[in-house]
Amino acid sequence: STHNTRIERLWVEVGRQFVRAWRAFFFRLEDLHQLDRNNPHHLWILHFLFLDAINADTKTFQNEWNSKPLTGLGHDRSPNEMLLEGILEHGLYIDANPSDDCNGLSVEEIVQEYGIHGAVKHRGNGKTGAGQGQNDEAEFIHPTNVDLGDEEADDDQEVVDSVYDGQFNAPAVKMPRVNNPFSDSPFHYGVFVNSLSKVQEQGSIPDGYGVNESEWENGAYPSFYYIRSGRKKGKELLVQLLDSIWRPRAIAWAQAVDVYHNIMELM
C-alpha cells in the first residue's frame, strides 16, 4: 500500500518504546548468559519466563497510544475520547455479528464515505492494485509530510522507505522452533515449575551463567547493550537496560535454564 505511512510510523514508536529493550536483552542473554537461539528448549524457557511481561508492555503501549491526541480529522482528540463521544452520541454498539457496513454500496459511495489517507495512486491499464510481481516496476507516490523524529529513528526510516522502493516481495522469515521439553511429561513439567519457584524464593543464583557478581567483567554489570540496526545491519544503537528491571530478568533466566538442565540430566 502507498497509504500506510501512519502504521509504518507506528512501528518506529513500537521499537523505540519497548521492543528495542527486549531485543537488546535477548542479545545480551546470548552474549553473556548462555542463551542458544538455535535450541528450541531455550526459546520455550524465554516464552515461559517473559511472554506475559512482553504482552504487558504491549498493552501499556497500546493504552498510551490510544490516549494520544490526533491532529487533522481527530481535532486533537485521542481515540479513547472519540470512542467515548461516539458512545454518548450514538449509543453502545453491542451487535456480536455485525453486517458488512459496505453491503449494497457502490465503489464510488465507499470511496466518498470512507476515503483514503494520502495522495491517490493512479494505476495504468491492466493494473488492479492487488500488488506487483517481482519483475513489475511499481510507481509510488512518496509522502512529503511524515516526521520520523530524531536521528535515533534513522534506521526505522529505512523500513518505511522499503515500502516505496519495491521491497514488497522479500522472502518470508523462517520462524524458529519453540519446543516444550516437558510436553510429554506433565510430572517433569510440574517438577520444573515447583523447583524454579523454590529457587526464586530462596534467591539462589547459579554459577556459570554470568549473573553472579564474581562473574561480572570489570566488577560491574552492564546497563546498556549495542544492537545492530538498519537493513544492512550497518548501524549500532545503544539501548539502555535499567539495572533494576533487566538484571533480575537475567537472573530469572539463569535460574530457569539451570533448573532445566538439572531435570534433563535426570530424565
Entry pTM: 0.68
Residue whose C-alpha is closest to residue 38's, from 46, 203, 12: 46
Q: How confident is the model at residue 108 (pLDDT cuts 50, 70, 90)?
A: confident
Q: What distance in Å separates the CA atoms of residue 133 and residue 177, rounded to the nearest whole number?
A: 30
Residue 238's pLDDT band (boundaries 50, 70, 90)? very high
> Taking the CA of residue 118 as centre, how many other CA atoms within 13 Å lie in the half-sphere pointing to its CB?
16
Which tens digit of pLDDT belongs to each residue from 239-253? Answer: 999 999 999 999 999
Q: Distance between alpha carbon 171 and the CA centroid of its chain, in Å?
A: 19
